[in-house]
Every structure is written in C-alpha cells, then in structure tokens.
Structure 1
Amino acid sequence: MAVLAVCAAPLIASYITYYFIKPEGRTNYGALIDPRQYPIPAMASATLDGKPAGLDAYKGKWIMLKVGGSDCQQACQDQLFAMRQLRTMQGKEMERIERVWLITDDQPLETILLRVNDGTRMLRAPAEAVTKWLPVEQGGQAAEHIYLIDPLGNLMMRFPKQPDPSKVKKDIAKLLKASAIG
C-alpha cells in the first residue's frame, strides 16, 4: 500500500493543483484583448497626402498603434518616441513590427514632428470610427495608450498610460518569439 501511495501521490497532487489551486499571477504587462471582438474595421483612412490607405495594408506584420490628433503635445511625442525605441529594442526581429499613428483630425502636422518620426506610418482616420473600435479603460481615452495588432489584423493588446518600456519590450519579445507569423 505504501508503494501504491508513493506512486499515486504525484498524480493526485497534480489533479488537486490543476482543479483547485488557480494561479493569480500573470506574465503579461499589457492588457490582453479578445482578438475576435476587435478585428481591424473598414475605415475611410488615408495617407497624409490624401491617398486611400488602411491598416489592412500592414497585415502580416505586428502593428504598434498610436491614436490621436495632429496637435501632438509632450505625452503624444513621448509615446511616438517609445514606439520607435521599442521597435529598435527588438533587434533582428524589429522588421516584423510596423509603427502606425492614426491621426484623427485634418489639421496639418508640424514639420519637425514628421522628421523626428520618420519611419512611422501616419494615416488620417475619422475620429468616430477609431473611438468606436478601440477599447479604453473606464474614463480613459484611446490617445493615452499604445495598442498592438497581430499579423492577422486583430487588436490584441493595450499598454497602460505611461508604460514601463522594459516591461512592454518583454511582452513584445514574448509575442514575437511565440509567433511564427508576422
């Protein structure tokens, strides 16, 4: 009986752990979003020079998305800088990531902003379409967050306002390592 108890103990312990002890911790920093609920919608978006373009043009790559008006104050500029740095921190995997800024108004951008954010895809999109699509925290705004879209075109993660770059880097690195697409 003692031999049987010793052999069965790991099996019983694993069942108890699996069914009764639920882990509370999580390893992701950003808020996971159910991708089935937030596919990229059809928006009447265009490039800065007025040519029709949409987020679906970047399918097949991971997209770091920033949303906001053309009046980019310091918080907005910090987010754009963080996106550039986060992409660079991925090393050889950085080519799998696109940076996109959805501009929600028709005001002109400052020339210095265009130069500093060279490489960021800038699209103009109607504000009402963007705000309906992007989930935000209670009382928050979409412009306060950086979003991540998977290569299949589904919104999947939202990073908090003023995120910790090292934690965001870890999340993105995990996704790129686990994903064979994009």
Structure 2
Amino acid sequence: MSGSNFSNQPAPVNDPAQLTVHGLGAVEALTQAERTRRGRWMMGWVVFLCALPVIASYFTFYVVQPRGKAYGELITPTRDLPADLAPRTLAGQAVAVEALRGQWLLIVVDGGSCVGDCEKRLFMQRQLREMLGKERDKLDKLWLISDEAPVSETLRQALETTPAMQLLRVDGAALARWLSPAEGQALTAHLYLVDPLGRWMWRSPAQPDPSRVKKDLGLLMKANSGWDRPGR
C-alpha cells in the first residue's frame, strides 16, 4: 500500500522535465520587463544630463542674478516651438522645426519689406551677439518673416553673409500663437529669446537699451557653458 502511495506523488517542482513552455514564457516576460525598466531609467538620465546646462542657465537667471530681476521680461511658463510653424527658406525650401533646437536663438520678427525700425532691430541683433565676446558662438540670430513680401536683394545678401544668421518665412498665424508682444505693442516691437530646447523664455522691452539687453544675454550664456554648439 505504502509503495502505491509513493508512486502517486507528483514529481518535484524543480525537475527540469516538468518545466513547461508557459513557464519559460513567464520568465522571458519578466526579463523583458526588467530590460524595459532599465532602458527607461537610462533614457531619463540621458535627457536630464542633456538639459542640465539649460537648467543651470535658468537657475542663474532667476535665482543667482545679482540685480534680482531681468531687464527683459521672463516668460513663465515658457512656450514650446509650435509644430505648425512651417519654416522655410527664402527660396521656398521647407526647414524642419527640430532644426531650430540646439542653440540659443535671438529673434527678430517682421515682414519681408523690413524698413526703418525693422532694419534697426536687425542691426541691434547683430551687435548684441558680437558684444557677447567669447560667448557669442552659443547664440544664433534668426529673422522670422511673417508674410510673403519680398526681401530686398541688398538686405538679403548683407544678412546671409553675416555669421550665425538665418532668414526664414513662417506661418504668421502659428507665429502669433507662439510669440506675443507686451500689452499695447506690436509683435514686431521686441527681440525674443528662445532656449536650446526650443522654448520661448524672454522678451526685450520695446525700443530696448542694447547694453542692458546684453547683460541679460551674458548671464544666460555664461551659465550655459556646457551647451556649446557653435555654427549650426
């Protein structure tokens, strides 16, 4: 009788012969889940380390700045580059919105005719970059043209031969949803600053004082020493 009872006992669980395909699948699924978790952690660290220089710039600008406030207006919350901005060159070639990331951008907004104050802002934009000295390679200049008016050949040639300068036509409605002027001002009245992650974060006063704008820009560029991509 006792021998009969022993013969009815199930095989040990750790018997390799008893492992089923279903059991192996569960082990493989667990391993895959662990790999997925590790991959997400690694990706999170990569994103954090890439953003760290910009975070340092913001900390310096908002917290460490000796004057306690910026000359220009800080935009809070910041506004991301719109996917429907539809930038294109003057020749009509489409430019990916992602191509506008990776460098600080000092932006002038105006129509293609660009006379008077528009030309003055473009000149100030160029001078401000040069005033940054060794930090200037971190800043690109960008003229966003909000209409289809032609740009004079003289002005186009002068700007296109200027270092770190881009001229792009954009969708006017998308632009107006992204950048906005101070109350009572036109969109064209300001200089706008966009960070390397593509976020609009600063706006100059209308008719700005270049020396005071330079101090704002200088603080950001110096704090941003880890993010240096000269020459897009």
More helix by share: 2
- Matches of 1:52 and 1:144, distance apart in 2: 27
Quick check: 2:144–2:169 contact (8 Å CA) kept in 1? yes
1:162 aligns with 2:207: yes
Quick check: 1:64–1:98 contact (8 Å CA) kept in 2? yes
- Matches of 1:163 and 1:30, distance apart in 2: 9
Q: In the alignment, which residue of structure 1 is the partner of 2:47?
A: none
Q: Name the TM-score, length of structure 1 as normaliser.
A: 0.81
Q: Name the TM-score, length of structure 2 as normaliser.
A: 0.64
- Matches of 1:78 and 1:29, distance apart in 2: 20
- Matches of 1:54 and 1:101, distance apart in 2: 16
- Matches of 2:110 and 2:80, distance apart in 1: 20
Q: In the alignment, which residue of structure 2 is the partner of 1:34?
A: 76
Query: How far apart are residue 35 of structure 1 and its match?
Result: 4.6
Of the three residues 116, 125, 129, the one matched with 2:174 is: 129
What does 1:106-125 correspond to in 2, within 5 Å?
106-118=148-160, 119=162, 120-125=165-170
Aligned partner letter, 2:113:
D
Q: In the alignment, which residue of structure 2 is the partner of 1:181?
A: 227
Bigger mean CA deviation after superposition, 83-92 or 135-144: 135-144
| Structure 1 unmatched runs, 5+ | 1-24
Bigger mean CA deviation after superposition, 59-68 or 110-119: 110-119
SS at 2:168 equivalent: strand
What does 1:94-113 correspond to in 2, within 5 Å?
94-113=136-155
Of the three residues 73, 78, 88, the one matched with 2:115 is: 73
Larger radius of gyration: 2
Quick check: 1:35–1:155 contact (8 Å CA) kept in 2? no
1:87 aligns with 2:132: no
- Matches of 1:144 and 1:40, distance apart in 2: 20
Query: How far apart are residue 60 of structure 1 and its match?
Result: 1.4
Q: 1:81 to 1:72 in 2, by over 3 A?
A: same
Bigger mean CA deviation after superposition, 50-59 or 119-128: 50-59
